[in-house]
Structure 1
């Protein structure tokens, strides 16, 4: 064998060895990926919609669900992601959970209308989707939330209470939630049910898209159109938007009742300080505990009717097992008996140095 042929043979053998090793590694990697795709049989997916307009999802929903799941199923693992306000991102997160092989997904959809094909794909793979907080489209296995139309009614009645005797002659601005969120329409419907016929007029109504910056733009447009004295109260669908609205109104020299929803800590501080008229407290433990109980029951193949005895219909599914919870109005006078009594916040959390005088005046100790 001459030197050239020998070098060619060695090279060929080396290439063959390299290809063989690469193939072996590929098989091992494939086995590893397959195992990953098979997933933890006790894994539960948790997808929440955003973390900018409302702090509740990171501060309460996620940790409470994770803790309750752990208490019910020690070996269970919650695989969590936040969509950060993007339906496209949430779809990617949903697809990843399917690839990981989870059998139950708790889904709080950022855009509920877009989820039908997701949920159908999951159902075809034997994956059960629990609609949480917002009713996702498609064949969801169960649903838990608050009675959102009643929440809107509470908001409307609280605004009437804040307006007092002038309510009948008051013009109102309404900054609603994102139209992609089915809850927004229910909040809006409930608020109108409470307000219509009891105020003079809703002079301006726009979606704030659950976005503080958008809400600020909308309220500025209302001030420009109607002037400083053109409206006497503002309905804001949540606290994140209410904060921006109040800032804009203060900047324009306007001091009128503004309400919100979610009972975020900064909102409670605005309420105690008199900057925000009210917020809506949706007790987190009951809904997060219900979600965890439903998820574990679905994971174990159990019937969920004892946990979700009600039923609701969506545009794409009928008789969805459901549990709907009640909410409470929080005003300056009821902080102690709601969010403090339930252990959501300590008085020391609320009554920092900037709010000490207001807390003392409100009797918060």
Structure 2
């Protein structure tokens, strides 16, 4: 190739490169977005929740968590998945999160023991894991929840308070606990027993697996075993199960006895207003979700969490886990205004639909 031809080729190449650079520059906004997306992908937090039957997860936990992450880290992304009550599905979801390259996983375990190997696999890939609401086994970096033994104590005390002078050692109480695969269920049960043992006769105790249908079946069995007229009260570990139990009690012609719950679900609050459930436990979802988001972002950004997780709990696998525990509140008809309505969890209009209008008026909710 002669010198003249070489200059032409070089010149053409330079023009081509210049045009290419100009084209990239012209599409800069899109490419910057793509880069941001890439960077965003590199700052991704996985949120894995356990089931779709418990109202709180989709309605409160997920949106509160996502909003807080966005507030704390504008270029962070949240990848969400729900196990729909299936432990093996949740294990697969952890694998998917690992494949996607998330940096932190926040997980409310469907089965705290079964998820241990999945958590270990994530940690082996350099992923930090935050146990949310339920203390999963394995090498988790942090845990955020409520004082779950305290939750059980509040439930037990609310049951005794509702029984009043009917709370005697001969008073027969039915206990429908949560799923044994959930470590929280054991802590709720522990707390409730601390308060109830020696004060009433726990005549029937079974797990309702956090399912209203199962709880309903167990309640039917308890009625058959004890006798409808001999049951003084019912401990239900959450509002979902309390709903199934309330239906069974009504079908058996049983009314006016205390029935506990937990989670301050709208249906639970409405039953309290109507008098078919005596109490629930309000675990404010926003503070819990916000705390989890803060822990996740700090871990993602390599920041210390000592000021956030100030307590240490031991998981079922023996791991010592830095923990942040929030304070639960018992809710009865007397303090609905000062709890779930004051915190704007629900409005009076949400609670006092046509079906509950008369009961709301009598309860002073207008």
Query: Do both share a fold (TM > 0.5)?
Result: yes
TM-score band w.r.t. shorter chain:
0.7 to 0.9
Q: Secondary structure at the match of 2:199?
A: coil
Q: Is the 8 A contact 1:108 1:134 kept in 2?
A: yes
Instruction: Tell me the matched-pair count.
Output: 328
- CA drift of 1:38 comes to 10
Q: Report SS of the residue matched to 1:359.
A: helix
Counterparts of 2:191 and 2:277, CA distance in 1: 20
SS at match of 2:204: strand
Consecutive aligned runs of 4 or more in structure 1 exceeding 2 Å deviation: 36-39, 315-319
Alignment of 1:82-231 (within 5 A): 82-168=82-168, 169-199=170-200, 201-231=201-231
- What is the RMSD of the two structures over their aligned residues, measured on CA atoms? 1.4
Structure 1 position 360, deviation (Å)? 0.8
* Deviation readout 1:72-131 (Å, 9 max, x if unpaired): 011111100110000011011110000000010000000001122111111111000000
Specify the SS of the correspondent of 1:339.
helix
Aligned to 2:316, the other structure's residue is in SS state coil
How far off its partner does 1:307 sit? 1.2
Matches within 5 A, 1:280-359: 280-359=281-360
Contact 1:43 1:102 in 2 (8 A): yes
Identify if the C-alpha distance between structure 1 residues 39 and 119 changes in structure 2 by more than 3 Å, giving closer, same or farther.
farther
Where 2:230 maps in the other structure, the secondary structure is: coil
| Residue-by-residue CA offset, 1:14-58 (whole Å, 9 max, x unaligned) | xxxxxxxxxxxxxxxxxxxxxx99981111000000011x20001
CA distance in 2, matches of 1:231, 1:361: 27
Deviation at residue 230 of structure 1 after TM alignment: 2.4
CA drift of 1:311 comes to 1.1
| Structure-2 change in CA distance of 1:230 and 1:37 (3 Å) | farther
- In structure 2, what is the equivalent of residue 236 of structure 1? 236
Query: Does structure 2 conserve the Cα–Cα contact (< 8 Å) formed by 1:178 and 1:207?
Result: yes
Q: Cα 1:69–1:291, aligned 2, differ >3 Å: closer, same or farther?
A: same
> TM-score w.r.t. structure 1 length?
0.88
Contact 1:107 1:129 in 2 (8 A): yes
- Structure 2: runs of 5+ lacking an equivalent: 1-36
Q: What is the rounded CA distance, in whole Å, between the counterparts of 2:167 and 2:80 in structure 1?
A: 45
CA distance in 1, matches of 2:317, 2:232: 40
Deviations 1:210-247 (A, max 9, x none): 11111111000011111111221000000000000010
Correspondence for 2:56: 56
Q: What is the TM-score when the length of structure 2 is the normalising length?
A: 0.88
Q: Is the 8 A contact 2:116 2:138 kept in 1?
A: yes
